[in-house]
Amino acid sequence: MTKRVRSRRGDGPIPASLDWWLFRLSPLIMLVGMVAGGVLIVRSILVWGVEDVEYPFGIDIPIAAVVLTLWAGTAAVLLVPPRSALATRDGAKSSTALVWPLGKRFRVWTVVAAPVCGLLAAMAPFPIPVALGWDPEIPANLWLGLPLAIGITLFAGALIWLVLRAALHGVELTPTHLIARGYFITRRYRRREMVSINAVQLKWWPSLLLTMLLNRDVEHTLQLSLADGSEPLLLAANSREHDVRIGAEIVRAWRAADDET
């Protein structure tokens, strides 16, 4: 089992042990925010935004608003972890810790996007049936409409998956491994296999892809050099150059502490 640090007085808004539980359950928490946000937005549009058709106000609207408010409070806590859960530049921690500067720039944006992604999830299934002509008022258009509908659906699915992983996004250090939780997948690297850790600028194609997906300029990240000669990029570490350099220092100190012990 991984050792957890105990919280200190003034450490954070909640004890470190509870924060770690929320962190592990964060995909489920993001899903709750997504569902509550989708219900609230869709029902609000129908009740107050659609003319000529009367949609009744129901108990589901205040329930969704209350759930979304509770979700917002939990999400805010996830974005302010206790200091005892964070890795430091001196590499002194022997327990699991988060490298908070890595991924910092996009963490808030992806978390707060959860309610809007609920609306996107509700709308995502509709383009394909429309392209197939299931709507009698709209003629089928397989050659143009179907590829476009599939592309929109895949993009929506990717964005929803990204937001579900929003609070997990970043780099975690354990006594034996570096865990990089990227936008879509998680990778693990053994501590003793790392030869060097560097802040680098992304090549044009991953930078362009992530810039289009996140609607933000994505330029810098962390690169590892491993004993087998491979040099993986940690897309989980995307942030401003200053944050990435600080993150690189933290990971180097963690790696050096292993050599000292």
| Three-state SS at 260 | helix
Tens digit of pLDDT for each residue in 99-120?
Answer: 999 888 778 888 888 998 888 8
pLDDT digits (tens, 9 = 90+) for 158-189: 888 989 998 999 999 999 999 999 888 999 99
The residue among 205, 258, 12, 214 whose CA lies nearest residue 112 is: 214
* The pLDDT of residue 3 is above 50: no
Q: Are 31 and 75 in contact (CB under 8 A)?
A: no
Q: According to the model, what pLDDT value does residue 6 have?
A: 45
Angle, helices 26-44 vs 16-24, to 10°: value is 60
How much is the mean pLDDT over the chain? 82
Cβ-contact 167, 31 below 8 angstroms: no
Q: Which two tokens stand for residue 165?
A: 């992983």
Q: pLDDT, tens digit, for every residue of 69-89? A: 999 999 999 999 998 899 988
Dmax (CA) for the chain in angstroms is 73
Q: Residue 128 has what pLDDT?
A: 66
**How distant, in Å, are the alpha carbons of 107, 113, 121, 155 from that of 161?**
14, 12, 10, 10
Cβ contact 221:202 at 8 Å: yes
Query: Which pLDDT score, from 0 to 100, does residue 56 have?
Result: 86
* pTM of the predicted protein model: 0.82
CA distance 27 to 163: 8
